Amino acid sequence: MNVVDYLRISLIDRCNFRCTYCMPDGDELSYVLQQDLLTQTELLTLIREVFIPVGFTRFRLTGGEPLLRPDVVDIVAEIAALPETQDIAMTTNGFLLVEKAQALYEAGLRRINISLDSLKPEVFDQIIGNRGRSRWQHVWQGILKAYEVGFNPLKLNVVVIPGVNDAEVLELAALSLEREWHIRFIEFMPIGNHDLFQDRGWVSSEALRQQIRSHWGLTDGSVRGNGPADVFQIPGAKGTLGFISQMSECFCDRCNRMRLSADGWLRPCLLNEWGQLDLKTAYRAGVPLADIRQQVQELLALKPEINFKQRESGAKGTTYSRTMSQIGG
């Protein structure tokens, strides 16, 4: 059984993008009120007194868009300073990195994943739901700033959507040739925008690998991280190519993570809400930390039985009710 030591922490459920694969088309989302978000103190207390004692040592900060949280740099610094922390990383859309990359690095963040679903500004803006001035260039400058500051590994996440950005796979893969960038191709999943998924479907990781292999060839690769990607490398490239294949090559048996939402719900699976714990309500009600810790320990013991496959079979399965941005990815 995998050791579950990796906690993905959503700092905020809001986002300054409205990516088509993440949010339902045309629907207005109900966001968590400010007073219902875990405060910095509450979050750090839960990490120190609950999650670290039960074995969590690796943390990833997500959103929504985590850089929208005003105290994000302070949170990074606090987690990075904990002696038990073995790794701290962040997933971001990159729009605010030009302004915040240096401060995040100085606070102790070393690994960062940035969403970049297209190299064409018009396609990029279509995907993120932008109808005003193009945001592609600012995101690109944020990526370059993060690279300049020293983030390593720097990973670029690409959700491949048929008929939207799948024609750019080779161009995106080529970003790994001259820089130590790690491009991760993610199969489109039916969460967030179900209508788009039904309309477009998804492209398997193997089909993408075959396309890249026929153009350059592929060898096995490696990159530091905690995720489920299968990693390859174009011969002679400085960076790598990763493939996350939940649709075609289910990796539930390799999962080593849990997710803490911005409003304090602990979930053992991205796509299954069975067994979730409301830690914020318990903490604010004065439940002893030892009791909360015991509840988390018990959920950890059940995690192998709570996964995407169980949800599909109906055994210990509850369909998710939040969008990707609300869950924390």
Whether 269 has a binding-site annotation, put simply, is yes
Whether 64 has a binding-site annotation, put simply, is yes
* The pair of three-digit structure tokens given for residue 284, joined into one six-digit string: 């604010």
b/e sequence 132-154, b meaning 16+ C-beta within 10 Å: eeebbeebbebbebbbebebebb
Strand, coil or helix: 208: helix
User: 189 Cβ partners below 8 Å, 6+ apart?
Assistant: 21, 197, 202, 246, 247, 271
Whether 60 has a binding-site annotation, put simply, is yes
Whether 131 has a binding-site annotation, put simply, is no
Whether 8 has a binding-site annotation, put simply, is yes
Whether 91 has a binding-site annotation, put simply, is yes
Q: What is the distance between the alpha carbons of residues 186 and 205, in angstroms, rounded to a whole number?
A: 8
DSSP character for 13?
Answer: S
Whether 259 has a binding-site annotation, put simply, is yes
- Cα torsion angle, 264, 282, 296, 47, sign: positive
Whether 21 has a binding-site annotation, put simply, is yes
Whether 15 has a binding-site annotation, put simply, is yes
Whether 189 has a binding-site annotation, put simply, is yes
Whether 250 has a binding-site annotation, put simply, is no
Q: What is the distance between the alpha carbons of residues 161 and 247, in angstroms, rounded to a whole number?
A: 13
- What is the identity of the amino acid at 272? N
Extract the annotated binding site for GTP.
8, 60, 91, 155, 257-259
Extract the annotated binding site for [4Fe-4S] cluster.
15, 19, 22, 252, 255, 269
Extract the annotated binding site for S-adenosyl-L-methionine.
21, 64, 115, 189
Extract the annotated binding site.
8, 15, 19, 21-22, 60, 64, 91, 115, 155, 189, 252, 255, 257-259, 269
